[in-house]
Chains A and B, each alone.
Chain A
Amino acid sequence: AQSVAQPEDQVNVAEGNPLTVKCTYSVSGNPYLFWYVQYPNRGLQFLLKYITGDNLVKGSYGFEAEFNKSQTSFHLKKPSALVSDSALYFCALMAAGNKLTFGGGTRVLVKP
């Protein structure tokens, strides 16, 4: 069985500081990993994905994520957070078939 864990329910960071949102996964076989962001009362917006190749993936709005196979992690990062980055972030895993398994989500609060 596959699973995704986001160990932090909430991350607080000051504007301008680096932002990291953690994600670990469990799956047999090669994973496809995704990050989505959800703003209040909106749908999920795709940020980036890892399929294969370079372990550092760059995505939308200045976000990037690092795939680490030995640690089974796919942490989302942004070098300098903005207040507008405050939202709910989801890590997701796609294994068998084109279906996503989601983590529980991490709420990010960026304070001015």
Chain B
Amino acid sequence: NAGVTQTPKFQVLKTGQSMTLQCAQDMNHNSMYWYRQDPGMGLRLIYYSASEGTTDKGEVPNGYNVSRLNKREFSLRLESAAPSQTSVYFCASSGLTGSGNTIYFGEGSWLTVV
């Protein structure tokens, strides 16, 4: 029962490099999300996808792009990494329609930009 799977788990980048964080869910969920976690700030929404084929900006989208490849997969791309993007990144998903659906999280990706 995998749930939400994200890769890589750890990554170190140099300033200016690009990379893509991959995320897949096997729960047949419609909505997917990317959050970042910074000390004392909780989790902040970067981008989300309410359904396949749609994406929208969250609270902190600058410096990121996303792709909802299909219903299962939602990737996050850093085109030119900056030290301010050092963070822990979480992919998440929630299912079906209506409000108040529980959001389920992956195990996180630790990204360091030097």
| Contact surface of A with B, Cβ cutoff 8 Å | 4, 9, 32, 34, 36, 41-46, 49, 51, 90, 94, 97-105
Please determine whether A103 and B42 come into contact, CB atoms closer than 8 angstroms: yes
For the complex of A and B, the 5 pairs showing the least CB-CB separation, nearest first, are A102-B42, A32-B100, A43-B105, A44-B105, A43-B107
Please determine whether A49 and B102 come into contact, CB atoms closer than 8 angstroms: yes
Please determine whether B107 and A42 come into contact, CB atoms closer than 8 angstroms: yes
A-B contact pairs, 5 of them (CB 8 A): A43-B105, A43-B108, A98-B100, A103-B42, A104-B41
Chain B 73-106, CB-CB to A under 8 Å as 1, else 0, gives 0000000000000000010001000011111111
Nearest-neighbour CB distance to chain A for B27, whole angstroms, equals 13
Q: What size tier do the contact residues of chain B reach?
A: 20 to 34
Please determine whether B108 and A46 come into contact, CB atoms closer than 8 angstroms: no
Nearest-neighbour CB distance to chain A for B1, whole angstroms, equals 14
Nearest-neighbour CB distance to chain A for B40, whole angstroms, equals 5
Give the distance in Å from the alpha carbon of A99 to the alpha carbon of B56 in the complex.
11
Give the distance in Å from the alpha carbon of A100 to the alpha carbon of B90 in the complex.
13
Nearest-neighbour CB distance to chain A for B60, whole angstroms, equals 12
Task: Say whether B13 faces chain A, with CB atoms less than 8 Å apart.
Answer: no
Which stretch, B14-22, B43-51, B62-70, touches the partner chain A? B43-51
Give the distance in Å from the alpha carbon of A105 to the alpha carbon of B107 in the complex.
17
Task: Using A36-B105, A51-B100 as known contacts, list a sample of 14 further A-B pairs with CB atoms less than 8 Å apart, ordered by residue number in A.
Answer: A9-B40, A32-B100, A41-B108, A43-B4, A43-B105, A44-B43, A44-B90, A90-B42, A97-B99, A98-B94, A99-B33, A100-B45, A104-B41, A105-B42
